[in-house]
Amino acid sequence: MFRSLLSQRSRSFWSPFATASRLASSLHAKSPWHPPRNILIVNKMRTQPVILAIDAFLEHVHSTYPGVRVFHEDRPDIPHGAEVWHPVDNPVQGKQEKIDLVVTLGGDGTILHASSLFSSGAVPPVLSFSLGTLGFLLPFHIDDFAKALESVFQGRATILNRMRLACTFYNQDESQKPDQHKDWQVMNEIALHRGSSPHLNTIDIFVDGQHLTEAVSDGLIVSTPTGSTAYSLSAV
């Protein structure tokens, strides 16, 4: 599931993800809100604007919310003042810290990357900031990060749910492919394509075990209601 929080004061959205069932997500949405203690920063390539934004964000968090820990992916460009964090499916020795809030700096692609870091279980709420990049899932501009964080820490938000898709690959005998150790969790769409083959594919489509149709085509796209940035752009 993909979850969004609606700020009751600013009427702005911030967007989290989850893979739990609809019922479980609904119950989670009604549970008491606790201020984040561990924040994960996910950002696009560190250009000068990104570097300045991260530095300002870290300084603000450490001074305004001194008990909060800030983490970053294990990359060569990890910012000073952030701790290294590893995805759950790639643990390191020691305790894996639970992330309460993900902050993305970039565009829609950065949000998709943040979602992919949590390949199983629920994905923490994601607070998305735009850095001048085209995107339809970016409710806040980076200049407003202090007000957005204040809204989050004071709990002035409700959770809205959106779905993610789980994709598993099987052989013709319905056994799972040995090189696929886990499901692919997808936030926007799954695309099956004929690749370099010059011929059309014949695709049998089943829903809940029932044969729906046979398609002769280049491929097949299965989309969530969120869809892709291209869908949103084409509708503008």
Cross-strand bridge partners of residue 126: 102
Is the pLDDT confidence value at 70 over 90?
yes
Strand order across the 69-73 sheet: 83-85, 69-73, 38-43, 101-106, 126-130, 140-141
Determine contact, residues 140/148, Cβ cutoff 8 Å. Answer: yes
Residue type present at position 20: A
The two structure tokens encoding residue 91: 């643990």
3-state secondary structure of 148: helix
Buried-state track 85-97, b at ≥16 Cβ within 10 A, e below 16: beeeeeeeeeeee
The CATH number of domain 2-162, selected from 1.10.150.450, 3.40.50.720, 3.40.50.2300, 3.40.50.10330: 3.40.50.10330
Determine contact, residues 111/129, Cβ cutoff 8 Å. Answer: no
pTM of the entire structure? 0.76
For the residues of 53-98, what is the DSSP string, one character each? Answer: HHHHHHHHHHHHSTT-EEEEES-TTPPTT-EEE--TTS--SSPPPP
Kindly name the residue from 108, 144, 173, 183 that is annotated as catalytic: 108
Going by pLDDT thresholds of 50, 70 and 90, the confidence category of residue 89 is: low
pLDDT in tens, 113-154: 888 888 777 788 888 888 866 677 777 888 889 998 998 898
Instruction: Calculate ∠ Cα 6-8-26, nearest 5°.
Output: 45
Is the pLDDT confidence value at 234 over 80?
no
Task: Say which residues have a Cβ less than 8 Å from residue 29's Cβ, sequence separation at least 6.
Answer: 3, 158, 159, 160, 161
Overall average pLDDT of the 97-118 stretch = 88
User: What's the gap between Cα 109 and its chain centre?
Assistant: 9
pLDDT in tens, 1-21: 555 444 333 323 333 333 333
- Whether 183 sits among the annotated catalytic residues: the reply is no
Overall average pLDDT of the 180-202 stretch = 83
Domain boundary assignment for the chain: 2-162, 165-235
Q: Quick one: pLDDT at residue 61? A: 96
3-state secondary structure of 102: strand
Is the pLDDT confidence value at 103 over 90?
yes
Residue type present at position 219: G
Angstrom distance (rounded) from CA 27 to CA 96: 25
